[in-house]
Structure 1
Amino acid sequence: MGDTVLLDTLEILRKSGNKIPEQVWETVEDAILGAFVPQMTVGNERPCEESDFKQYLLNIGSKLKAIALIFQQIVQNLGCDEFHSNKQISKNHAVHLLILCGEHSIDDKWTTKETIKYSEELLSLLCKLWCCKSVSLMLIGDESRQEYFGLFSVALLSLRPKLEKNTWKTYPAAVSCYQWLLFQVKSPHLSPHLSSVLPTALIILDDFVLDNRICGIKCLNHITDNVTRTELGWSGHGDVIYKALEPLLYQREAAIIQPLVSCLITVLGKVEGGYIRDEPNYQWSRYDDVLEKLLQTMEMEDSLALRLAYITSLPPLLAAAGLRICRWSKRLLHVCGCYLEVAGHSQQKEAQHTLLAVQVFLHQCWPLVPAHSQILLEMLLRLLCDITYKEETTGRELDAEEQHILNLIEDCLVLVVKIAPEQSKMLCLDLKNRARFNRIFETVIDKVFE
């Protein structure tokens, strides 16, 4: 929008009072559509780069500023009731403006701090015009009003041509807008739109670009978390999501592991077992399939970044699987022992999450602890010796992370001794008398066996 057009439009608005001429709405419509991020055909060949949007970034800031000035004047001229009285016009403009703001909702290759600021300002003005308190209410509708409808379906319909299987990679801003719109709608309002939002998330997931896969995983996690178990069962939606996520377990990329496991936990929580959380159904399930693949990969992994990603994801997965992890106890403890051998010397984050996994095992599989007490005590006491040995040799006090690890070790040892007192007493018979390695070690042992 040129300066002359902007000034003419503002002048018309100042003179028009509370009646907005059709000419102004046409100017606003053209300005909004002209500010959309253009199609990038290069996206079919490679991921879009910041240089691809160089031309777009030259004037998008001034375009959004002009649109914001016009809407500020419209807000001054119009009350919300007047704007809402013509639903067709208000709906079209609101949807187009929502999509434009969604494209500039987060920091990305086609956005700047200036465009994000104007996007937030435009959303605030739009909420005033639509007589609602938030973007979420605008999307889902406000039941407190006599005439209400949400804009979510209309916005998805408007975005659909850009998010088809053959076009979505050329419209990266439309993908960002879809994710932003999706995250604004939560339970129970997302359920009616399940068949509309799920295909796009699956299309984004099925890509070779890491960022797109992570985006698809986050969208699927949000969808699964905000619909009911019954709705996921309709037409096998839950099974489709699981089948789409399962192959990603074999991919060795640290950035994808945590969101992937988190999404799988959400999906399995809805599609496995009964409606009662602790229903006693311990037959082989897809929890076991995931644990089998994950533990197998963890055993062979030597990359520190991947090891940390895997072990960080393990405790919540074990907690979600519950008593099912009993059948994996031997393999699980072997993995934890191997990770603690390395983590005790340098990888403190890895040690913390490994100990959390051991804690989950102790709580969930306590009947098996006596049979595995020797392995548990060996790995915990070895790590305790490694951690406390540093304090004695370097002469410095333990830092916050080391102290946290020490507390976790103590908690795990207390649980082992409490659950398997006879075995612990027999295995640690001479520990209190002969193995007095250092002051902190002695203090912890005294607390555990008091």
Structure 2
Amino acid sequence: MAREDPRGRAPEPAFSDRLRRACEHAPGRDPAAELEALLAAADWPALLREDAGLPQALAQAARALCARAAPGPGREAGGAAARVGAAFLRLLEGVEAAGVCAGPAGLPPALRPAAPHIYVFAATHGPERPWTGPAAREAARRALASLLRLAGCASEAAFLRGSFAAVLGLLQPELSKESWKNNPATKHIFSWTLHQITRPWLSQHLERILPPSLLISDDYQTENKILGVHCLHHIVLNVPAADLRQFNRAQVLYHALFNHLYTPEPDLIQAVLECLLDLFPVLERPLQWKAPEPRPTGPCDDVLQLILTHMEPEYRLLLRRTYARNLPAFVERLGILTVRHLKRLEPVIIGYLEVYDGPEEEARLKILETLKLTIQHCWPRIPCRLEVFLKALLKMVCDLVRDQTLTPEPVKTALLQEATDCLILLDHCSSGQVTSLLAKVVQSCEDDKVLDCIRKVQQLSGRTTKAGM
């Protein structure tokens, strides 16, 4: 309400009315400076008690301030945002100093409509981005800390449990197919905010978070694809499987991810494979299998088949490492059903064991892990491939002990240990054929390190030979 002037002058407008007028756009005016001055001079204890229009006026002011600080072409990096941050700090510190108790929803009632806008500002300018500067980042971080204190929340995640829907409501208009690239901050705010919400709070927002995540992941820029896939992965991990299966959502996710496997981008392939491995349990519900019918293939089979097709001719080291890094998880998931893929898997294992992979030898270590798992799960089919695997392992061991590159000794030791484990497993599943064949190798081998490896295999296999052992 306007206050009467005892000297007979026109009544002073209510504070909420002055806030609304300050938000009006006029050429040459800086609403951030004017609003900061108003908020600094406000009598907050009285306003919070008496001004019924204050909540909506504060929301309007917060919306105007966010628009003023929004990144865009031709705007100075963080300059306007720093002034907007100062205005938000005046507001939050004034309400905090008034000592008003938080309501049932956490925040003081007058501040609730403005809080989502303040959070979006903090999420836009708090992290180090091209559109921010040091002053803007500091103001955003202080504003967020003050907002969390007023809400009685120890973290952003706790705050968003009650405000996620409101924040999504602010972001939704900017997340359409036509508008999501207009503001470079929108995708990052959406991704960061989404990752703060976990089970069981995320599933109720599925209809609003899935379309933007798919939209971002379907972009032509690799950076956006990866960001979108990370959003999809978070959804897969934090939404119940039943909700993902409903309306065929899981299949939509699978096809969107599968298409990315044709792009030769290691970081994207890594993000996609990690997401798919967590999506398979949703897609592949336990089936009642009845012999003698063959077990049906599933999405995991299809993805592994495509990976192996890509792996065999691949010569780029980063992609080779990415594929090899994820291969053990596929063998572990398929188990005995890996036998379906042995024809493709065998040349991949042999080929990757032959190629030096740099000082860390990540690809060869992961291929050795894959071979171990393959032997463990598919042991009835291994004896017919014994000679091929044995030759590849012995060749790798010989190449390794003669290696004069910069490969650190701990890496060489790890490779030798993994190769030894594979040889032992081969011996067990072939009823001792490996130790018999190695006995012939000992007679012609002159390298002490190779001999040490062979002795270890024979000792750990529980079999010894007369030839120099």
TM over 0.5: yes
Distance in structure 1 (CA, Å) of the matches to 2:106 and 2:240: 36
2:435 maps to a residue whose letter is K
Match of 2:170 in 1: 158
- Which of residues 98, 102, 115 in structure 2 aligns to 1:81? 102
- Which of residues 14, 17, 42 in structure 2 aligns to 1:12? 42
Q: 1:216 to 1:121 in 2, by over 3 A?
A: same
SS of the residue corresponding to residue 235 of structure 1 reads helix
Deviation at 1:19, TM superposition (A): 4.4
* Relative contact order, higher structure (CA 8 A, sep 6+): 1
1:311 maps to a residue whose letter is A
Distance in structure 2 (CA, Å) of the matches to 1:375 and 1:359: 15
Distance in structure 2 (CA, Å) of the matches to 1:441 and 1:13: 84
For the 8 Å contact 2:125–2:140, the answer to whether it is kept is: yes
Bigger share in helix? 1
- 1:6-48 Cα distance to aligned partner (Å, 9 max, x none): 34422325775864866698467525542355375xxxxxxxx
Deviation at 1:309, TM superposition (A): 1.9
Match of 1:411 in 2: 421
SS of the residue corresponding to residue 318 of structure 1 reads helix
Q: Given the two structures, how large is their TM-score scaled by the length of structure 1?
A: 0.84
SS of the residue corresponding to residue 168 of structure 1 reads coil
Match of 2:241 in 1: 229
Distance in structure 2 (CA, Å) of the matches to 1:284 and 1:221: 23
Match of 2:70 in 1: 38
- Which of residues 309, 319, 337 in structure 2 aligns to 1:296? 309
SS of the residue corresponding to residue 70 of structure 2 reads coil
2:61 maps to a residue whose letter is D
Match of 1:423 in 2: 433
SS of the residue corresponding to residue 283 of structure 1 reads coil
Match of 1:379 in 2: 392
Moved more, 197-206 or 31-40: 31-40
Q: 1:398 to 1:167 in 2, by over 3 A?
A: closer
Query: What are the within-5 Å matches in structure 2 for residues 249-328 of structure 1?
Result: 249-274=261-286, 282-328=295-341
- 1:177-229 Cα distance to aligned partner (Å, 9 max, x none): 11111101111221111111111111111110111110111011110111122
- Which of residues 46, 51, 55 in structure 1 aligns to 2:76? 55
For the 8 Å contact 2:36–2:86, the answer to whether it is kept is: no
Distance in structure 2 (CA, Å) of the matches to 1:60 and 1:361: 57
Q: 1:229 to 1:8 in 2, by over 3 A?
A: closer
Match of 1:363 in 2: 376
2:454 maps to a residue whose letter is I
Match of 1:389 in 2: 402
Distance in structure 2 (CA, Å) of the matches to 1:377 and 1:33: 71
Q: 1:175 to 1:430 in 2, by over 3 A?
A: same
2:91 maps to a residue whose letter is I
Deviation at 1:69, TM superposition (A): 4.2
**How many residues matched?**
423
Q: 1:130 to 1:298 in 2, by over 3 A?
A: same
Distance in structure 1 (CA, Å) of the matches to 2:409 and 2:261: 35
1:232 maps to a residue whose letter is L
Distance in structure 1 (CA, Å) of the matches to 2:342 and 2:232: 30
- 1:47-73 Cα distance to aligned partner (Å, 9 max, x none): xxxxx4652433323432442343133
Q: 1:329 to 1:314 in 2, by over 3 A?
A: same
| 2:442 counterpart of 1:442 | no
Q: 1:401 to 1:118 in 2, by over 3 A?
A: farther
Where does the alignment leave 5 or more consecutive residues of structure 2 unmatched? 1-30, 460-469
1:107 maps to a residue whose letter is E
| 2:153 counterpart of 1:132 | yes
Deviation at 1:294, TM superposition (A): 0.9
Deviation at 1:407, TM superposition (A): 2.5
For the 8 Å contact 1:28–1:67, the answer to whether it is kept is: no
Deviation at 1:236, TM superposition (A): 0.5
Deviation at 1:283, TM superposition (A): 2.0
Give the percent of matched residue pairs that are identical in Structure 1 and Structure 2.
Answer: 25
- 1:341-400 Cα distance to aligned partner (Å, 9 max, x none): 11267671222222222233233323323232222222222221122112xx68x99533
Q: 1:313 to 1:33 in 2, by over 3 A?
A: farther
For the 8 Å contact 2:283–2:299, the answer to whether it is kept is: no
Distance in structure 1 (CA, Å) of the matches to 2:34 and 2:112: 28
Q: Given the two structures, how large is their TM-score scaled by the length of structure 2?
A: 0.81
| 2:93 counterpart of 1:72 | yes
Distance in structure 2 (CA, Å) of the matches to 1:294 and 1:105: 39
Distance in structure 1 (CA, Å) of the matches to 2:97 and 2:104: 12
Q: 1:361 to 1:54 in 2, by over 3 A?
A: farther
Match of 1:97 in 2: 118
Q: 1:202 to 1:24 in 2, by over 3 A?
A: closer
Distance in structure 1 (CA, Å) of the matches to 2:50 and 2:220: 48
CA RMSD of aligned residues (A): 3.0
Deviation at 1:332, TM superposition (A): 1.0
Q: 1:205 to 1:341 in 2, by over 3 A?
A: same
For the 8 Å contact 1:268–1:287, the answer to whether it is kept is: yes
| 2:430 counterpart of 1:399 | no
Q: 1:177 to 1:430 in 2, by over 3 A?
A: same
For the 8 Å contact 2:39–2:90, the answer to whether it is kept is: no
Deviation at 1:292, TM superposition (A): 1.2
1:418 maps to a residue whose letter is H
Match of 1:354 in 2: 367
For the 8 Å contact 1:217–1:259, the answer to whether it is kept is: yes
Distance in structure 1 (CA, Å) of the matches to 2:336 and 2:138: 49
Q: 1:273 to 1:81 in 2, by over 3 A?
A: closer
Q: 1:196 to 1:379 in 2, by over 3 A?
A: same
1:236 maps to a residue whose letter is N
For the 8 Å contact 1:344–1:386, the answer to whether it is kept is: no
Q: 1:413 to 1:105 in 2, by over 3 A?
A: farther
For the 8 Å contact 2:157–2:196, the answer to whether it is kept is: yes
Distance in structure 1 (CA, Å) of the matches to 2:194 and 2:295: 35
Deviation at 1:103, TM superposition (A): 2.1
Distance in structure 2 (CA, Å) of the matches to 1:381 and 1:116: 57
